[in-house]
Chain A
Amino acid sequence: MTTFTRRLALTAVAAAAFASLPALAAEKVNLGVSIPAATHSFMGGINYWANQAKKDLEKEHKDLKITIKTAANAPEQANQLQDLSTVTKINALVVFPFESAALTKPVAQVKAKGAYVTVVDRGLTDTSAQDAYVAGDNTAFGKIPAEYIVKQLNGKGNVVALRGIATTLDNERMDAFNAVLKNSPDIKLLDAKYANWNRDDAFKVTQDYLTRFKSIDAIWAADDDMAVGVLKAIEQAKRDDIKIIFGGAGAKGMVKTIMDGKDKRITADVSYSPKFIYDAIKLTAEARLKGEKLPATTIIPSVLITKENAKDFYHPNSPF
C-alpha cells in the first residue's frame, strides 16, 4: 500500500517535472477517475468501460495519464478524492458520485485545488462544485418504454411495472412513464412495486403480480436484470397473456435476445449504457488536452433498441 502510494507520488512528481519542461507546448493532463466498485452488473459495466477508456485514451494521447479509483461506499470515495488531489496531483477529475449530497463537499475541495471536474450520472447538490455534468437520460428511460408499449398494444391493455430503489433517478423514470400513459386512458397501469434492481426480488414481485392480476398485457421490468426474474416467474406460472416484456439499460444478454429475435415478447429495449463513463472520460480528456471546456451539461441520449440497431449496442466483452 505504502509502496503503491509512494510510486504514485513519484509518478506524479515525474509528471510534474515533465510538465514544466518548456519544450512541451500542450499541458499534460493528469486525469483522476473516481467510481463506485463493481457491486452489481451495471457498476461492473462502469468499471469495465472506465478501464477501457484508460487503455484507449492513454495509447492515443502521450500527454494523458489516467488514474482510476473504485470505492465501496461514500466515505471511502471521499478519502480517495482527497488522495487523488493531494498525492496523485490530478488536474482533471471525472467522478461518478455514490450519493449526491455526501460527495458535494469533497468534490468541491478537489475543484478548489484547481482541477477541472466532470460529474457523471448523479448530480451534486451544489452545481458550482462541478465544471461539467454528463449523464444518461432518465426521462427518456421511462418515456421510450411507455411509448413503445402504448404503440404495440394499440392504446389498450393492462400494464404492470417494477421499480428499482427509491431514488430521484427512479422517480424521474417512473414519472416519465406515467406521463405518457396519461394520454392513453385505455392503458391501465395496475401497479408499480419496488424490486430493487435485483433479479430475485423481481421474481417474487412478478409471481405476486401474476397471482393478483389474471390478465396482463405488458410488463415494464425497467431494468434488464429485473427482466431476468420476470421471465422466470412467467415461465413458472405458465402464463401466456403477457405480450411485451420491456427491460432497460441494454445489457448484453437482452440485446442479444433482441438481435436474434429469440423471444417474441422481448422486441425492444432502451439504452442506458454504462458506456457513458467512457464518453465522459473521453470528452473531458480531449477537451482538457486542447485546453477547452465542456458544455455545462451533456446528456447521453437514451434511445430505443430494436432488432435493426441492436448490433450497435452489443458489447460481448463487457460484463454488462
Chain B
Amino acid sequence: MPPEQQTPQPRPEAAAHRSETAPRWTERLHGLGPVIGLVLLCIAGTLLNGDFATVDNAMNVLTRTAFIGIIAVGMCFVIISGGIDLSVGSMAALIAGSVIMFINWAGPASGSPLLAVVMGAVLAVVLGAVFGLAHGLLITKGRIEPFIVTLGTLGIFRAYLTYFADGGALTLDNELSDLYAPVYYASLAGIPVPVWVFVIVAIVGGLILNRTAYGRYVQAIGSNEQVARYAAVDVDRVKILTYVLLGVCVGIATLLYVPRLGSASPTTGLLWELEAIAAVIVGGTALKGGAGSITGTVVGAVLLSVISNILNLTSIISVYLNAAVQGFVIIIVAFLQRGRR
C-alpha cells in the first residue's frame, strides 16, 4: 500500500532527495525508540533496587530472554514477509514433550545416554523444521490465511502434548536430566550457553535478512507481494522458508528450554507467541510487514523480560497491577518508535 501514496513523478530529483534524506534521519531516531526505552528502564531498575545492575541479574534476565528472543528472531522473518505464526508456544511445548519422551526412550534403548540427548536435541530442530514446513505449505499451496492455519495448529500442538502427558507433566529421567542440564545451566567465558546461542542466532538472522538475496525477497514480499511476483521472485518458496526458519528457531529455543526444568506440561510455552510477536513489534517491525530489524527485535525481547524482572525486584506496585505496568511500558515504547503510517 505505501507505494500508492507516492506523488506521480513531478520534479523527480527533489522528490527523490527528500524521500532519501529527511525520512531516513527520522527513521533512525524512531529506530532508537526501543533502545531508549530499554536504557530508561535499566536506569529505573537500578534506582529501585541496587541488585538490578549486577552481572548475575543481567545474566538471569538474558538467559530467560533467550527462548523468546530466539523465537522472535524467526518470527521477525515471518512478520516482515507479511505473515504471522500464533502457534509457536504450543509448538515449543509439543517439541519439548516429544524430545523428553524420545530421550527417555532412547537412553536405555541405545545404551548411550549422551547419544540419546544429542539425538534428542537434533530431533527438536528437525521437528521444528517439519512443523514450519507444514505451516508454509498450508499457507502457500493450500492458500489458507496464516492466522487461521497457525490458530488451528496452536490448538492441535497443545492438545497432543496434553494427550501425551495424560494431562500431567512429562519429565526427563534423572540421570539423563543431569547429563542434559549443562546446556541450560553451564557458562562459557562467564556467559551462559543460552545467551551465546541467542547472540549467534541473532547475528545469523541479521546477516540473512540484510546481506542475502533471500532476506531482500522476504522484505520485498512483505511490502508488496504482487510486485515481488512480477519481479520473478519465487514467492511461495520464500514464504515457506520463513516458516521453516521460524520452526527451526522454535526447535533451537526448545532444545535450550528442556534442560531448564527437565519437564513439559500443558502450561509449557503458554502465551509465548504473544511475547514473541510483541518483541518483534516493540522492536520496530511493522505488523503489516515489509520492513523490520533483528536488532530491534532483540532489544524488544530483552525489554519485555526486563519489565517483569524489575517488577519482581521491587514491591512498590501492587502485584495486582503488574500486568498493567507491562502494558503501559509496551505502549510507551511503541509510541517512541512509531514510524510513518
> Which chain B residues border A211 with CB–CB below 8 Å?
51, 54, 56-57, 60, 313
Known pairs A39-B162, A199-B267; A319 contacts B168 (CB<8 A): yes
Tell me the smallest distance from the CB of B152 to a CB of chain A, in Å. 15
8 Å CB interface, A43-91 against B: 43-45, 47-48
Q: Are A47's CB and B260's CB within 8 A?
A: no
A191-B315 CB under 8 A given contacts A200-B261, A212-B51: yes
A209 to B162, CA, bound (A): 31
With A48-B167, A204-B64: A209-B312 Cβ-Cβ less than 8 Å: yes
List chain B residues, Cβ under 8 A from A96: none
- Whether A44 contacts B166 by the Cβ 8 Å rule is yes
Chain A residues contacting B54 (CB-CB under 8 Å) are: 211
- The answer to whether B266 and A40 touch across the interface, beta carbons within 8 angstroms, is yes
Does the CB pair B49–A212 fall under 8 Å? yes
Stretch at the interface among A104-112, A130-138, A180-188, A225-233: A225-233
Q: A38-B162, A320-B168 are in contact. Are A229 and B313 (CB under 8 A)?
A: no
Chain B residues lying within 8 Å of A39, measured Cβ to Cβ, are: 162, 167, 266-267
A41 interface contact, C-beta 8 A = yes
Please tell me if B123 contacts chain A, counting CB pairs below 8 Å: no
| A-contacting residues, B39-90, CB 8 Å | 49, 51, 54, 56-57, 60, 64
A193-207: CB near B (< 8 Å → 1, else 0) gives 110111110011101
- A99 within 8 A of partner (CB): no
Interface size range on A against B: 35 or more
In the complex, the answer to whether B319 meets A192 with C-beta atoms within 8 Å is yes
Report the separation of the CA atoms of residues A16 and B139 in the bound assembly, to the nearest whole angstrom: 51
Number of interface residues of B (CB under 8 A): 31
Number of A-B pairs, beta carbon distance below 8 Å: 94
Q: Could you say which of A163, A196, A211 has the most chain B C-beta atoms within 10 Å of its C-beta?
A: A211
Q: How far is the CB of B259 from chain A (nearest CB, A)?
A: 10
Identify A204's interface contact among B162, B266, B312, CB under 8 A: B312
Q: Are the CB atoms of A319 and B165 closer together than 8 Å?
A: yes
**If A193-B312, A204-B64, A204-B308 touch, does A44 touch B167 (CB 8 Å cutoff)?**
yes
Alpha-carbon separation in the docked complex, A191 to B54 (Å): 21
- Please report the C-alpha to C-alpha distance between residue A209 and residue B60 in the assembled complex, in whole angstroms: 12
| Chain A: CB-nearest residue to B308 | A204
Interface string of B159-184 (1 = CB under 8 A from A): 00010011111010000000000000
**A236 within 8 Å of B (CB atoms):** yes
CA A236 – CA B193 in complex, angstroms? 13
- Whether B319 contacts A198 by the Cβ 8 Å rule is no
B263 touches which one: A43, A48, A199 (CB < 8 A)?
A199
Q: Does A166 contact B (CB under 8 A)?
A: yes
Query: 8 Å CB contacts to A: which residues of B256-295?
Result: 260-261, 263, 265-268, 270
> Quick one: which of A214-243 are within 8 Å of B by CB?
225, 228-229, 232, 236
> How distant is the Cα of A207 from the Cα of B261 in the complex, in angstroms?
13
- Over the window 303-331 of chain B, the binary record of Cβ atoms lying under 8 Å from chain A Cβ atoms (1 yes, 0 no) is 00000110011010001101000000000
Contact A208 B312 (CB under 8 A): yes
Say whether B105 faces chain A, with CB atoms less than 8 Å apart: no
Q: Which residue in B165, B268, B315, B320 is a CB contact (below 8 Å) of A200?
A: B268
Contacts of A225 in B (CB 8 A): 169, 265, 267
Inter-chain contacts of B313 with A (CB < 8 A): 208, 211-212
A253 touches B171 (CB 8 A): yes
Contact residues in B for A208 (Cβ distance below 8 Å): 57, 60, 309, 312-313
CB pair B185–A236 under 8 Å, yes or no, is: yes
Cross-chain contact of B312 among A41, A205, A228 (Cβ < 8 A): A205
Across the interface, which residues of B come within 8 angstroms of A199, CB to CB?
Answer: 261, 263, 265, 267-268
Among A194, A209, A212, A232, contact of B260 (Cβ-Cβ < 8 Å): A232
CB distance from B102 to the nearest CB of A (A): 20
- The chain B residue with its CB closest to the CB of A229 is B261
- Asked whether B312 lies within 8 Å of A212 as measured between CB atoms, the reply is yes
Question: Are B165 and A198 in touch, CB under 8 angstroms?
Answer: no
> Does B165 lie within 8 Å of A44, measured CB to CB?
yes
Residues of B within 8 A of A197 (CB): 267
Is A198 a contact of B270 with CB atoms below 8 Å? Answer: yes
Q: In angstroms, how far is the closest chain A Cβ from the Cβ of B306?
A: 11
List, in ascending order, chain A residues with CB within 8 A of B168's CB: 41, 44-45, 318-320
Task: Name the B residues within 8 Å of A48 (CB-CB).
Answer: 166-167
Q: Distance (Å) between the CB of A186 and the closest chain B CB?
A: 20
Give Cα distance in the complex from A319 to B165, angstroms. 8
Enumerate chain A residues within 8 angstroms of B308, measured Cβ to Cβ: 204
What would 12 more interface pairs be, CB under 8 Å, given A40-B267, A225-B267?
Answer: A191-B315, A196-B267, A199-B263, A199-B265, A200-B268, A203-B260, A207-B60, A208-B312, A211-B57, A212-B51, A232-B261, A319-B167
What are 12 A-B pairs at a CB distance below 8 A? A41-B168, A44-B168, A193-B312, A194-B322, A199-B267, A200-B260, A205-B312, A208-B57, A208-B309, A208-B313, A232-B261, A320-B168
Binding site for B on A (CB under 8 A): 37-41, 43-45, 47-48, 163, 166, 191-194, 196-200, 203-205, 207-209, 211-212, 225, 228-229, 232, 236, 253, 318-320
